[in-house]
Chains A and B, each alone.
Chain A
């Protein structure tokens, strides 16, 4: 196994692991945080950083080929759509007067 392949796959594994950490953290935040705003914030980490770096990791795994352009497109799509969704959710919540930090009490009813 040549040095290049070791570096390549090492980078790939690191990126995927980073993505897993962000996905786990985002999911935990979605379950545990108190209101829509903080939850949207946590969940958008899953999309942009979590899925994004997993996709980047997959891009490097087998060496970059032309076919992998699709993964780049996917990263772009995820980076554009994820934050937009979080923005739209938080904005809609704010404009309709959703209170900050009160969702948990209602959940437990």
Chain B
């Protein structure tokens, strides 16, 4: 069994190295990846879309439908998790290799396994505001610099989970108002569809953005609205996924 594993690793590594050796030199202008649509994006992206950042131009304009459906996929993941029937929480005596001390937690799934470490609580309190500011900056500057709605959602979601681990789920849940939760978790697809429709009215194409220089402020506002929808919707979805997990 050991030797079979080793042989598999060697064969896989050799195949990968052969493939890497066959790649065109790094940055070669005639590499296949640069001769397709990439060249057109670089040449005419700014003029065609009016975006200040080519990544944003590709993400929201050239591949707008792809990004739209990506947001829908994330939302669908939450729907799938919520639709799952809630199983009985795993009890410690079900597993055979658990140490006996774990049976202390047999009272119920809501019981916390281990009391919160004061060190972890302090560090989350210390770094929390910085993480929140970073998520906001990544969201606000995302369409002109690295970052953006998806990244911001991941940072906000991670911050929520950190807070939930330290302060408890009940207090963390207050961050997402109960009444607005239904709408917030669908905010990504909703804002995308709304802005896409606005673009339809303005330019005649669903998910279109006005590209002329005069519409600068309008275009920026549309892009930021989409990014905010992705960020807030994604963060709430991550929080809901965490809350849906028992124990």
Contacts and interface: CB of A to CB of B under 8 A. Distances in A.
Interface of A: 77, 80-81, 84, 87-88, 91-92, 95-99, 106
B100 A97 contact: yes
A81 B130 CA distance: 13
15 contacts: A77-B127, A77-B130, A80-B126, A80-B127, A84-B119, A84-B123, A87-B119, A87-B120, A88-B117, A92-B113, A95-B114, A96-B99, A96-B113, A97-B102, A106-B97
A92 B97 CA distance: 17
Interface residues of B, number: 16
Contacts of B130: 77
A88 B117 CA distance: 7
Contacts of B123: 80-81, 84
| Interface SS of A by simple majority | helix
Interface in B63-110: 97, 99-102, 105
Nearest to B130: A77
Nearest to A73: B130
Contacts of A88: 117, 119-120
Nearest to B119: A87
Contacts of B105: 96
B114 A98 contact: no
Contacts of A80: 123, 126-127
A95 B130 CA distance: 30
Nearest to B105: A96
Interface in B118-153: 119-120, 123, 126-127, 130
Contacts of A91: 114, 117
Nearest to B120: A88
A81 B127 contact: yes
A59 B245 CA distance: 42
Contact of B117 (A87, A96, A99, A106): A87
Nearest to A99: B99
A71 B90 CA distance: 44
Nearest to B113: A96
Nearest first, the 8 closest Cβ-Cβ pairs linking A and B are A97-B101, A97-B99, A95-B114, A84-B123, A88-B120, A92-B114, A91-B117, A96-B102
Nearest to B101: A97
A96 B114 CA distance: 7
Given A95-B114, A97-B100, 9 more contacts: A81-B127, A84-B119, A87-B119, A88-B117, A91-B117, A96-B113, A97-B99, A97-B102, A98-B99
Nearest to B115: A95
